[in-house]
Amino acid sequence: MAIRTDVVRLYRQVHTWTGILTGLILFVCFYAGALTMFKEPLERWITPPVAVTPATLDRAEELVAATRALRPEVRDFTLAVGPALAGEVPLRLTWTEERFDPAPWAATLAPDGSVAVEQLNPSGIGLLVDFLHRTVGIPGDLDIGTTVTGIASALYVVALVSGVIILLPSLVKDFLVLRVTRNVKRLWLDAHNVLGLISLPFHIVIALSAVVFGLHDHIYDTLDRVVYGGQMRAVAASSSPFRTVSKDMSPAGMLPPKEFLTRVHSLAPGFQPVSLEYHDAGTGAATVRVWGHDPRYLVRREGFVLMGAVDGRIIDTEYMPGHQNGWSATVSAFFALHFGSFGGGIVRWSYFLLGLAGAALFYTGNLLWIESRRRTERQAKGRSAVGPVEQSRATRLLAAGTVGVCLGCVAGLSLTIAAGKWLSGLVDDLHAWHWGIYYAVFLGACAWAFLRGASRAGVELLWASAVATAAIPATSLLGLVMPGLWLSDGLIGVDLVALAGALAFAAMARSAERRAQTGPRDSVWAAAVGHPKSEMGMQPLAHPAE
């Protein structure tokens, strides 16, 4: 496809700058995002096993009534159905005091019919990867972090469009060609292009939806003023699933939990209920949201049907897979395409791999800029120049930042996951420990990278990432022999994936080491200047024929 060369040149600059500004932020978003696909297994991998017999729902009604009697002020709570039936958790009611509460309360039923209320202390690794994915780990208010990722995602959309424009002219010639030659930049460019093109639809979907997730508050505010004349709240309220629910707060009895499941089953036999979320329980306005999955439809993480808790009537199906109107179904599809919450395991694994590939795309993007800067600086010095070219400050800083941020994120996540199993039961607030370990490793890696320089820190941090990731399966192996540790039942996948990751990082460390020794001496990746091999036997770098 013919595109004017000045247009291509212009968009190459757009692509470079949007990429440089967002690459590191997006790396963290993608790497943590890939892990969010498996946050439940990760959480269970860290949690000590307790003998839970798969529950029947026969005693659920008794549990609700007893909890209501003990804690009448708690009117909003959740009864996990799927995980209790599967024997993953005991039959219990849980509630939180704020929206993102790492330590929810739980009420369980003793055999004698009495209720025990305790505060749960889950490892919180699921919350950690989720927050990291949304905020890049920017501390403080969630809104600040999500706004930053929203803006980065907007630039990422522009980077995608410009990337496609600059690839179009050479698409047929270059597509899926990986040129493994002495020319390292060519190799990185080919890898970057292949990764980008293969996963382009995924990236478009993720980029656009991430902008929405990051900036929706601001967009809604503008729409309210410009489009809805200040009446947007009323418009939104008239779409709420609760719009027809009465305000009746007088005491009223509720149907048993099993009854709701029976009615949902007759409404949608393919729907797999996961939990019952009660609202205003024990009053005339009491409602139950039956949350669940239906892999045949594109829905948000989970869909729900809203029912009256007193009479069991179906109140709203706007969030129920297969029962939505066109607008809801379309928006739900956008959510599902971002979360990968459709199609079951195959899509989940694909999203995991696409997420990792995305992280690699941003990593290679930064490497490309660094490589091309090196060439520019060589040209600036004159083509005849042989021997090392002094790298500019910007190149050195970006190289160190790339190594520190990306590998700090990788090593920090791996180590905090592995540490979760060691610390579980030993510390009071495991969630806080998870964050502490992550930040310590991440910030330490960044500091290390700037102190040591990209070439040495790159190799060292890759080894550190390999070791930290290998600590995950090693912890499980030790669980076979060491008291206090354990092998998590049915979660061998976590250990195998981590092992594969550790091997991959080790291989990357080896190749970075080789490059530092034998690669071009004027590269930021070369071992420190003054190395005995530096001037001997080195050919001047071949210039790419462009």
Partner 1 sequence: MTDASSARHTQAPIRPDWWSKSVAGVVLGFSLAIAMSGLFAWIGPGGPAAVNKLQFIMWLVVPIWLGVASVCFLFRSGRQAWLWLGCANILAHTALLAARSPLLH
Interface characters, 203-222, with partner 1 (x: CB under 8 A):
-----x--xx--xx--xx-x
Find the binder of partner 1 among 111, 229, 490, 532 (CB under 8 A).
229
CB 41 within 8 A of CB 246: no
Q: How far is the CB of 189 from partner 1 (least distance, A)?
A: 17
Of 11 and 27, which CB lies nearer to partner 1 in the complex structure?
Answer: 11
Phi, psi at 384, each rounded to 5°: -80, -10
Please identify, among the stretches 172-180, 225-233, 250-258, 373-381, the one whose residues bind partner 1 according to the rule CB under 8 A.
225-233
Kindly state the tokens that stand for 44: 């269970």
Find the binder of partner 1 among 223, 386, 477, 503 (CB under 8 A).
223
Interface characters, 433-472, with partner 1 (x: CB under 8 A):
----------------------------------------
- Cα separation, 80 vs 91, in Å, equals 7
201 touching partner 1, by CB under 8 A: no
Please identify, among the stretches 158-166, 252-260, 291-299, 482-490, the one whose residues bind partner 1 according to the rule CB under 8 A.
158-166
Find the binder of partner 1 among 24, 60, 154, 370 (CB under 8 A).
154
Of 229 and 490, which CB lies nearer to partner 1 in the complex structure?
Answer: 229
Please identify, among the stretches 3-11, 83-91, 440-448, 449-457, the one whose residues bind partner 1 according to the rule CB under 8 A.
3-11
Interface characters, 334-363, with partner 1 (x: CB under 8 A):
x-----------------------------
Q: Is residue 166 exposed (0-12), middle (13-18) or buried (19+ Cβ within 10 Å)?
A: buried
Q: How far is the CB of 365 from partner 1 (least distance, A)?
A: 17
Kindly state the tokens that stand for 324: 């939505």
Return the closest-CA partner of residue 461 out of 477, 476, 436, 443: 443
Please identify, among the stretches 91-99, 195-203, 234-242, 486-494, the one whose residues bind partner 1 according to the rule CB under 8 A.
234-242
10 Å Cβ neighbour count for 5?
Answer: 9
Find the binder of partner 1 among 103, 331, 356, 506 (CB under 8 A).
331
Return the closest-CA partner of residue 407 out of 24, 37, 149: 24
Of 244 and 518, which CB lies nearer to partner 1 in the complex structure?
Answer: 244
Find the binder of partner 1 among 20, 103, 117, 157 (CB under 8 A).
157
Q: Is residue 371 exposed (0-12), middle (13-18) or buried (19+ Cβ within 10 Å)?
A: buried
Place of tokens 């991440």: 442
Interaction residues for partner 1, span 487-546 (CB under 8 A): 546
Q: Residue 341, SS3?
A: coil
Of 202 and 228, which CB lies nearer to partner 1 in the complex structure?
Answer: 228
Please identify, among the stretches 139-147, 150-158, 429-437, 533-541, the one whose residues bind partner 1 according to the rule CB under 8 A.
150-158
Q: Are strands 77-80 and 272-279 parallel, antiparallel or unpaired?
A: antiparallel
Which residues lie closer than 8 Å to 116 by C-beta, 6 or more apart?
107, 108, 109, 110
Of 114 and 222, which CB lies nearer to partner 1 in the complex structure?
Answer: 222
Find the binder of partner 1 among 6, 97, 428, 489 (CB under 8 A).
6
- Cα separation, 525 vs 197, in Å, equals 27
Return the closest-CA partner of residue 33 out of 418, 357, 448: 357
- What one-character-per-residue DSSP string does 437-478 give? HHHHHHHHHHHHHHHH-HHHHHHHHHHHHHHHHHHHHHHHHH
Which residues lie closer than 8 Å to 524 by C-beta, 6 or more apart?
370, 374, 391, 395, 396, 399, 453, 454, 455
Place of tokens 């995980």: 83
CB 93 within 8 A of CB 390: no
Q: How far is the CB of 379 from partner 1 (least distance, A)?
A: 14
**209 to each of 112, 138, 150, 157, 340, how far by Cα in Å?**
50, 20, 9, 10, 12
Interface characters, 12-51, with partner 1 (x: CB under 8 A):
-xx-------------------------------------
Which residues lie closer than 8 Å to 283 by C-beta, 6 or more apart?
75, 248, 249, 250, 251, 252
Q: How far is the CB of 545 from partner 1 (least distance, A)?
A: 10
Find the binder of partner 1 among 226, 426, 480, 481 (CB under 8 A).
226
301 touching partner 1, by CB under 8 A: no
202 touching partner 1, by CB under 8 A: no
158 touching partner 1, by CB under 8 A: yes
- What one-character-per-residue DSSP string does 87-148 give? TSS-SEEEE-SSTT-SS-EEEEE-TTS-EEEEE-----HHHHHHHHHHHTT--S-HHHHHHH
173 touching partner 1, by CB under 8 A: no
Q: Can you list the positions of beta strands (E) in 294-388?
A: 303-308, 314-316
Q: How far is the CB of 304 from partner 1 (least distance, A)?
A: 14
474 touching partner 1, by CB under 8 A: no
In the complex, which residues of this chain contact partner 1 (CB under 8 A)?
A: 4-7, 10-11, 13-14, 154, 157-158, 161-162, 208, 211-212, 215-216, 219-220, 222-223, 226-229, 232, 235-236, 238-239, 318, 325, 327-328, 330-331, 334, 546
